[in-house]
Structure 1
Amino acid sequence: MTAPLDGFTVVSLEQAVAAPLATRNLADLGARVIKIERVDGGDFARDYDHVVAGTGAHFVWLNRGKESLAVDVKSTRGQQIVRTLIDDADVFVQNLAPGAAARLNLDAASLRADHRELVVVNLSGYGTGGPHEQRKAYDMLIQAESGLISLTGTTRDAVKTGIPTADIAAGMYCAQAVLAALLRRLRTGEGAEIEVSMFESTVEWMGHSMYTQMYTGTQPARMGVSHSAIAPYDSYPTADGDILIGVQSENGWRALTVDVLGAPELTTDARFLTNVERVRHRHECDAAVAALTRRFTTAELDSRLARAGVPAAQISQIADMVDHEQLRARDRWRTINTENAEVPALVPPATFADHDAAMGDVPALGAHSVELLRQIGLEPTEIDALLAAGVVGAPPKTVTAQTI
């Protein structure tokens, strides 16, 4: 079967995490993604670190399956090259600083004046307009401004999440919106102008905490691994470590207390009869559960909980996750190439029964510059001149256009 997005072309003037994640998702679905990068260093994420065989971990994660064109978009000729690529594209995505796309004549109004069928996405920190429009919008800052950090951590310390949550939220909404716009275009022939804000994406994820505050007037407390509306739902000690247990129903509470912990008396304790009562008496409930979980080793308790159908998990370290038996059993690892080495990559979470995800290679900076310029009709002498002038960049090993 053909890939879901086979035949669609995406041009993306992108960097860092949010937009690259969106377009990587589209590339995995079969879209051709042309990544526009700076001549002098490319996407910033290339050099966050060099831990993956000399390539940045963020970059490897977010940029497989793309073609890299290194071009000076501040130059007139560079802008013309990008516009020519967009002329034949279905989607254009950019996450430049506010106002930068318009200064480069790459804003939605300019592009869609000539191509009404084009889908244009502007991904930014705070969105167009409003007092925060021009503010810096790194993931940590958005987590803070959106209220996420106020919820994350322990009763003593507020912390950001260990992954770039705001970036990921925006990237996923961006990919989702592109798919919706392309589906509508198939029916109407009309493209779209889409705006995605990291701030608004993260605020949307605040969900129940937002409504809790709005309708109680109380800021939800930081709960560590616990849950403000469910009990027992926390980490509990074992004879040799700890384990996470989360009970969300009365059947689950009965299974935990009777089948796993052997304490049927807890099911009739007035303090613990319902989840509402258990939350009201959270400390007593947690203490009662902890006193019983200490009798078992972690492995033994984990096995008992699984047999009883009680939601539970051990806290994996990253090395444990990489070698997780579930990933191995479901064959979720593949091998892709980077400019320096083969590396493992996870199959995308959404799996088509009749099609394997594209999962192409991670490009070196400017790896496809010469070929892309050829495809839009430039003569070898002009390509060489652009390379010599630094308007376009290509890897040092690339042979010049004249000698190919």
Structure 2
Amino acid sequence: MTGNDVVLALVVVTALGFDFTNGFHDTGNAMATSIVTGALPPRVAVGVSAVLNLVGAFLSTAVAATIASGLVQSQDVTLTVVMAGLTGSILWNLTTWYVGIPSSSSHALIGGVVGATMAAAGASAVKWQGLVAKVIVPAALSPFIAGSVAALGTYLVYRVTREVSEGPRTQGFRSGQVGSACMVSLAHGTNDAQKTMGVITLALIASGTLSTGAKAPDWVIGSCATAIALGTYIGGWRVIRALGKGLVEIEPPQGMASESASAAVILSSTDFGYSLSTTHVATGSILGSGVGKKGAVVRWNIARRMVVAWVLTLPAAALVGALAYWVADGIGGTGGVVTIFAVLVLASIAFFVASRHPAVTPENVNAAWTGSVIPDPEPVPATDEVAP
């Protein structure tokens, strides 16, 4: 096995590791509201989400094509660049997961790859028009679109069912949430799993295994689908709590409206090949469901924290990706890639060890949502803003 083969193998393993972190980081996008409202038990919810993420990953490759050839000049990308970009994205994912902030795994990946590419070949190696059109504009608009749809949907479902008694209405919408949550999971697979497929395809092109413009091979699609499904099943309990409990006090009608809005926006963007942040969409939908219900408490202070993380994600991941490239390039050859791989493994272990003290687990998460075990992400002041 040549040094190039070793580096390619490490890049593929690291990319699948990112896909795994994407799965547990973004589980909350699909299942947070369903778990909080009692529509689905936690383990059942993440199990169903895992299966549908797996299925969704096979339904489209449009986003994978955007990542592989639409953001950076393929001829300027080396295996070291791809490895450095993955390092930036994974470290940012782990950091935001640890503190329970639903940042965008997608933008972390894109930021890492763009930063490493710029460090290696300069700003001219980035396809800025594609980056703006396929990433930045959708990132800016999607939370507002999803939030508006969810707000309107929430208003309408409460309006239409205002004569229905509380018990039957709650039970009916809990049942409806099962279907809407499944659609979000399926949509998540069609969009997020594609990004890692695109990165691995980019690495295969850089190594000379595939020609420029080639599509993701079947084994890449299958391995990425499996990795994100496994990550989803492990469950991102910290992020689930922040999304499901921290932003809005969710009731089943709101949950169904927000999930339906998320699924519609994500599936539409996938059809156009937009590398959308499902985290942004889900958060916008949940906030919209709070706005659409008269008298609902919306914790805008926590939302502002999330927005700060969103704004920082692309540049922060790009900076780490660039630093990782400079370290690997300074060491040179296979040794440079092996070094940043080792650093990444050690950092990942450190985050997981630290996360155990304390950790949110499936066994205590239901009690946590009733307020009896784990405190809220931060105290909620008595003067919380209330949606009109």
TM-score, normalisation: structure 2: 0.24
Question: 1 or 2, which has the higher strand percentage?
Answer: 1
Question: 1 or 2, which has the higher helix percentage?
Answer: 2
Larger RCO (alpha carbons 8 Å, 6+ apart): 2
